Amino acid sequence: MATITTPPQSEVPRMANGHATPVTNLHELITESPNEASQGFDTKSALEIARIINHEDAKVAAAVKKALPEIALVIDAVARSLRDGGRLIYIGAGSSGRIAALDSCECPPYFSNSPQQIQYIMAGGPKALASPVEVNEDSEELGQRDIARRRPTRKDVVIGLSASGRTPYVVSAVAYARARGAKTACITCNQNAPLSGAADIAIVAEVGPEVISGSTRMKAATAQKMITNMITTGAMTRLGYVYENLMVNVHMQNSKLVERGIGILMRACNVDRETAVRTIKSAGRSVPVALVMLKANVDKPEAVRRLARSDGNVRRAIEDTVMDL
């Protein structure tokens, strides 16, 4: 079950009084435990292997569901941060770091946000995305150094990802960011982990033992991907970069995305293709501007003014109301 932790008394992460002692022995972690469902795994046929993995993967959504209250807190924290000029900074190592990088990199083409708004820090640097540099994850000093380079402030949200919840690189980075006033959260798959003690909000998805013991690139990574999807999609939606369930802030950089933008306008405004294309052109190829023009029956300058007043929130720009988070 997910928990909300209390602030640490120092930069060294500790659990608050009354909480269980952090689990630091790797062999005690549930993600490292043998999985009875996959006993004799190496003797199975291809279909049996696929069935076992599929059966275990089906447990991930239920584990994430238990953490929804904490995920919601993080969604609102990120939305407030981005609205106020802050950043979301993910930090992770190994598979967790790669999940963080993936979510960070996928946001700009879908929501047209600046790459500076949602960033990632990977233990070992960008080269570790393709070539493992796992030794870096054991260094508290490197974790503090890498997050210090981003100069976290009270405006920022820093989220540490670690399936075990005990990765020194990530724990020290989150503790450092928190000590400097940033709002912090973590995504882990083990209860009572040191990382939970380092963060303001702990999102814990207990997915249980992996099909291959300790292979947290499987269920644990799937849970982390689901959660990061929720956080950024939820935050962008709260900011108004989604209208109804349409990706109206799509960045039209290729033919597929241009067609998506046209389709969104046709669907949202119930207009024909010719009208959608003409309006998008007159809106400077901006779907949000075109949408406000059609929905509010205003010209481009007024649509731009409304979007500026609403901080880019499309629905509020159409209704011309003040944003409140």
Dump pLDDT digits (tens) for 20-37.
344 456 667 777 776 777
Does the pLDDT value for residue 281 go beyond 70?
yes
Q: Which class does domain 255-319 fall in?
A: mainly alpha
**pLDDT tens digits, 228-244:** 999 999 999 999 999 99
Domain spans of the chain, in order of start: 3-238, 255-319
Long-range contacts of 7-10 (CB under 8 A, 24+ apart): 7/178, 7/200, 8/175, 8/178, 8/179, 8/197, 8/198, 10/179
- Residue 8 has a pLDDT of 40
Query: Taking Cα atoms as reference points, which of 215, 171, 229, 162 lies closest to residue 190?
Result: 162
**Among the options 11, 106, 302, 319, which is catalytic?**
106
Over 50: is that where the pLDDT of 1 sits?
A: no
- For the question of residue 302 being annotated catalytic, the response is no
List of residues 6+ apart from 200 with CB closer than 8 A: 4, 5, 7, 178, 183, 184, 185
Fold of 3-238: Rossmann fold (3.40.50)
Q: Is 106 a catalytic residue?
A: yes
User: What is the pTM assigned to this prediction?
Assistant: 0.85
Catalytic residue, chosen from 137, 140, 206, 210, is: 137
**HSE-CB for 209 with a 13 A CA cutoff:** 14
pLDDT tens sequence across 79-100: 999 999 999 999 999 999 999 9
Query: Which helix (H) or strand (E) is 19 found in, with range?
Result: none
Q: What's the pLDDT at 300?
A: 96
